[in-house]
Structure 1
């Protein structure tokens, strides 16, 4: 007769309940074992012979078996040998009498039992033996689990290491490409920004025909002087932008003032005109990229001797960019007749700047300017050759080597602009519309 009792281990999860199987042909022995182990919370099965015990083993997961040695049909040694063959992880314990030493040895050899216990047993001895056997089994099970986990992790680590270098290379290349795309995008944005400023500068000059090209010429000269005087690239850029936009504060002036030279203005008119540097600064302060340029615009009519406007700054208190802009602006303006009542030629304009050295202008800036005019900076060995073409010779992909200007001096396309088929068509249409032919300078290809 088979009997079963199930109970949970103290503080144990259901999946951690230990299952015991007692096999003996004497019912009183099975009852005694059940009573002894019931308080420990084990799940207990009993069988009255080896065949019945094997049936239970086949359908249940059994952690430990205690089998009597002397049983009919199949003794304990034979039964435990079959358990070993079918369920090698199950702990096997043999109950044996003193007179069965030979059979016990056979069970040890064939069944590879964990331990044998002599009958009659001591309750403390048998419970302690079972506890120790189960602890050993659980330790071995955990060891096996950890070894399998370690093996799996080692394989994963091995695979990771094998692919890590390739993954790092791939990621590095991805980052490099991303940085390249960002640099290209930044450069395009920068060029578009500069072009927008130059177009806006042309719009400012359209109010007075004689001013066409003035801001562009001032910007080119101011940039060259800033470079000669060792300004940083970012500062050179600010000087260039300030030169393009230095007259932005004049937008609100009436036409009658725009048409007069500064020397011919009345006192009241001068009071109105001298506000334009401060107005120009205020107009640009909303754009963070133009803060540096705005500061130079405010100071470009200050004088080195402190008699300028709007703040009457003197000497090195005037920002260097503003001191540079003052020289570049006045050199072009006196040739246009916007400062004195007549237009000066180039030599007269040079003399005008030289006469202002130390009073109107910073001597260091004037010296750099005169040196530039006497001996232009030699072209870099890396300067690309260029060729002049007509619109009919243009091809998509060509890049402008100079600004493309209209006959009135207005900027049409900026230097370094890359032409495409649509833009070439627009150039040709504009030539027909305005009845004029453009001079277009393109970077020459190697071998041209």
Structure 2
């Protein structure tokens, strides 16, 4: 099979490969395309056409349908598989509908042209095909450029914090430029926080998504309690990053249930909230979140860590985060060795209100978890100290006007406690109101 090429002296507009077993057809196509400054390659059969394609860069292939050995459908299907960017046209002199449809389906041809062809129509098809090909190439170029730009943006975001700090120092005297930089930083702030949270989980020995679940629950509790949008945001960010201090702990402590910690490991472990605060403090936007992170392991009764703060001395955001964090930790087996289901974890949180947790926070948490108020489950009556009798059981925690816990829910009142409450009222000048269960006096603890 012969291979021929024709090209005008000036630069070619495109390369066209014509494949036909009839030399006169190839000669006619070569004459037609030479006038349009196209580079023309000819092959007398499918095998020769493949050989040309393996050596040359071809924009368009025009193939006859009826050829010996390998027909046009099979040849164009091969071109589609090996050189998909090359446009494919079918030249047929037969009214063979099935063969043409097969070529369209298998070879995914751009157009088919019948013999004899109209030269102007043929040239118009070629121009349209080349325009389409140019558009496809430009599309691929733009897509590649977009991918490169997106990659550059991702690299920029990875170093945005450092670059913003450097820019801020340079433009300290130019407030307007500083504000623009700040707005760009805010646009990527939460994305960066979520990335840090994911990295913390990879090092911190917790299940993937732990920080996000804690943060989402803490945000819902804060919203339920009516906190401002800025306070809710700080609680959410602190929830995402509350475990970041654990990245400084040795491997043997990560993921170990707290109930199994012994000796020096207890002291080392209890430093992680403080370390978390230190890691976050350099960022102005994270100052309040850092304060929440430091205090989220404090207990309402003052027996927590790292500072032993109690009651309302603990930041409100930290009291919210403590409930959300422990609810998740109980289900993951991070507080005790046994993993609990959500209902049991909820019950334990509720049972610890006034001890581990702020009763107001637990109330909001309970509303979210069950869709009803905690008071709905307990028949109770409000009484003054003078109305109390031994054996009565508190239905709610008794707090002082400053928020300090005086008695916890389920406490059984005895003679001695009634006298102490009366003395407290006399000395403080404040009348106490206690909520008493309306039925039953059996409870886990009493003061008699």
Same fold by TM-score greater than 0.5: no
Q: TM (normalized to structure 1)?
A: 0.42
Q: Which has the larger radius of gyration?
A: 1
Q: TM (normalized to structure 2)?
A: 0.42
